[in-house]
Chains A and B, each alone.
Chain A
């Protein structure tokens, strides 16, 4: 009996004193390809925060498929900040939970995207099928590897990039629809996620070209051995803007609003921008961009806002049930 009382007292004491003793902690919920970037960035930020305020900070990170991560936050994972693949995902959190204001994207520069990326082609050594631009991908006998846009956020960028090219080149929505339909007829396997597609292309040896995020393609080349694959940059592609934001209500609850804000703002500083560039993301800061210009070739980058009227509209028109993508596969 005495024993129990002692433990209860001890537990109570711990619980009461912990806010003063424990360091503050923030949780960054992100998606798969940013794992290495945020590991490096968190270290820098913790160091920076310690120097500025003397406080020792703990930054936890969570990675997974973007859609799954978003649902986790909607269903109650208490993220202080989210750094996701699409504005549409953060819109969904704002809409379903009200924990983020609807105009979140205006709070930080560049549509709340500190770094950007684009969609490029990864081809086999020597580019045996001589694929230079989107038009080459729909030639007979060319196999294109891309994941299923219904299940993969990254795959939606691939689809929109192809669409944006065709619309730019042929001028009409109908032509773009025809082009994308042809493009998906060249796809032998629709993996459920981007990493699955990379495995299919790299390990299984299937397909002539992999549509990939530039950062993933650069990573694949540098990690899987140079000389096995080559990157081909098409004439037109999409500007992928992975957005970041504070989850206001969660941060308020945890008393971490100031840290969460500073964390995201630090992404925009030269330190954050250089880290992004080193992890193969295109930095938004023009000066840092100039420094890393060699790594990122010039492409005519089209934004989702200008070509598709924003993510919400793109999602509804193209990827929701009954949308354009579903029609591509409908048996006639």
Chain B
């Protein structure tokens, strides 16, 4: 077990990894859970099942899901274009993809609101011509979450696409598969694990996002109020335990969803390995 590893000392590296994840992840989360639990079961339930909180979960998770799905489709497209085509300014386009990572999210929120607001470049047409409200509506939240989540799908899919040999496609074509069939039966199965990972990352990032959303959402209770904002408003009342209770609830939901995505990943690998 411990022989012939690149990094020497299995015991040491395992110990270090455990300590590190404990310090960075487990202990803060345990403190959060402890603070939430201090409320007692009844109060805890009253806080997390309040209609306003429930409305915010639906919005937070719903908008994150929609945004991650949009990123799944268009992230794949962007990755495909960046890998398979050459065009002038390709490197710049490639670098631009990472920008949402680097930009402070509040700046992103303000910029998007400026674009999609009633007097913004897009907003004046969307709202003026079609009456479609983006800023200060749930659609605006989806826009912000799509923006911050895009790099996750592109950057996980890109290396896999680069590794795919063109010969596979040529072989499929020479065996009589049309383009759609080649994509579905040859390319997609190879890409699914990376797509799922990108989707999960993009989704998880969106669920916790606060900075950009509060500027574009309008923060109307029951309608455009995301759970992180509700947590923030509990903190404004110095209700630390209540805020933690909502935090724990989000954590549990997110964990279940990520676990489900991982299970899907596992099932997919087994199926591919078997077939």
Please list the residues of chain A having a beta carbon within 8 angstroms of any beta carbon in chain B.
Answer: 67, 70-71, 74, 92, 96, 148, 150-153, 188-192, 196, 199, 203-206, 315, 319-321, 326, 329-331
Contacts and interface: CB of A to CB of B under 8 A. Distances in A.
Contacts of B236: 67, 150-153
A326 B52 CA distance: 9
A191 B113 contact: no
Contacts of B218: 188-190
A102 to B, nearest CB: 16
A97 B135 CA distance: 41
Contacts, number: 72
Contacts of B233: 148, 150-151
Interface of B: 50-52, 110, 113-114, 117-120, 135-136, 214-215, 218-222, 229, 232-239, 242
Nearest to B216: A189
A153 B120 CA distance: 29
A329 B114 contact: no
A96 B239 contact: no
A206 B118 contact: yes
A67 B235 contact: yes
B220 A329 contact: yes
12 contacts: A148-B233, A189-B220, A190-B219, A191-B219, A204-B114, A204-B118, A204-B120, A205-B117, A205-B118, A206-B119, A321-B239, A330-B222
Nearest to B239: A321
Contacts of B219: 148, 151, 189-192
Q: Which 4 A-B pairs have the closest CB atoms?
A: A150-B233, A329-B221, A189-B218, A204-B117
Residue among B113, B120, B222, B242 having the largest count of chain A Cβ atoms under 10 Å: B113
Given A148-B219, A151-B236, A190-B220, 13 more contacts: A67-B236, A70-B238, A71-B235, A148-B233, A150-B237, A189-B218, A190-B221, A192-B214, A199-B110, A206-B117, A206-B118, A329-B222, A331-B222
Contacts of A204: 113-114, 117-120, 135
Nearest to B234: A321
SS class, residues of chain A in contact with chain B: loop
B108 to A, nearest CB: 14
Contacts of B238: 70-71, 74, 92, 96
A199 B118 CA distance: 13
A96 B237 CA distance: 12
A164 to B, nearest CB: 22
A192 B239 contact: no
Contacts of B237: 150, 315, 319-321
A151 B234 CA distance: 8
Contacts of B51: 330-331
A181 to B, nearest CB: 13
Contacts of A320: 237
A54 B223 CA distance: 59
Nearest to B110: A199
A159 B50 CA distance: 24
A226 B136 CA distance: 29
Contacts of A152: 236
A199 B220 CA distance: 17
A206 B120 CA distance: 11
B38 to A, nearest CB: 15
A199 to B, nearest CB: 7
A188 B136 CA distance: 8
B114 A203 contact: yes
A192 B51 CA distance: 20
A196 B215 contact: yes
A319 B215 CA distance: 22
Contact of B229 (A67, A153, A189, A192): A192
A196 B217 CA distance: 12
A206 B113 CA distance: 12
Nearest to A322: B50
A201 B238 CA distance: 29
B76 to A, nearest CB: 34
Given A67-B236, A71-B235, A150-B233, A321 B242 contact: yes
